[in-house]
Amino acid sequence: MELILAIASGVLFGTGFYLMLRRRLAQLIIGLGLLSNGANLLIFTAGGLTRARAPVIAEDASQLARPFADPVPQALVLTAIVIGFGVLAFSLVLAHGIHTMAGTDDIDEIRSGSG
């Protein structure tokens, strides 16, 4: 399972970087989104995969019973997803602004065209 997720994360990074090297803003934004999701998946995988219970101490116990899932990577991924959501939404607004102003979303034309 680790291997599959690691490959998936690698594919996300690869496609993300490929799209970011394209000339269109829309592709660049999708690339950024894939990149941050690749990073999230990597955190999740690197944090260790377990088939285990939630890390909640049972009512009659004084400490956690093994095996339990590590809550930290989940918290990290959740935070990163929220931040990624905000940033991605903002870049969409920005790209939309550029598109309405320049009438194109080709990066080279934005630069050379007269605005």
Residues lying near other proteins in the complex (CB under 8 A): 20, 25, 28, 32, 35-36, 38-40, 42-48, 72-73, 76, 79-80, 82-83, 86-87, 89-98, 100-102, 110-111, 113, 115
Neighbours of 75 (CB within 10 A): 11
When the beta carbons of 18 and 90 are compared against other proteins, the nearer one is: 90
Q: Determine the distance from the C-alpha atom of residue 48 to the mean position of all C-alpha atoms in its chain, rounded to a whole number.
A: 18
User: Residue 92 carries which side chain, given as an amino acid letter?
Assistant: L
CB 63 within 8 A of CB 22: no
* Tokens standing for residue 103: 């009438």
Least separation in angstroms between CB 65 and other proteins: 19
CB of 37: closest distance to other proteins in angstroms? 10
Question: Given the complex with other proteins, which of 8 and 102 has the nearer CB atom?
Answer: 102
**Which of residues 17 and 65 has its CB atom nearest to other proteins in the complex?**
17
Whole-angstrom Cα distance, residue 30 to residue 19?
Answer: 7
State phi, psi for 56 to the nearest 5 degrees.
Answer: -115, 130
CB of 52 to other proteins, least distance (A): 16
Nearer to other proteins by Cβ, of 15 and 91: the residue is 91
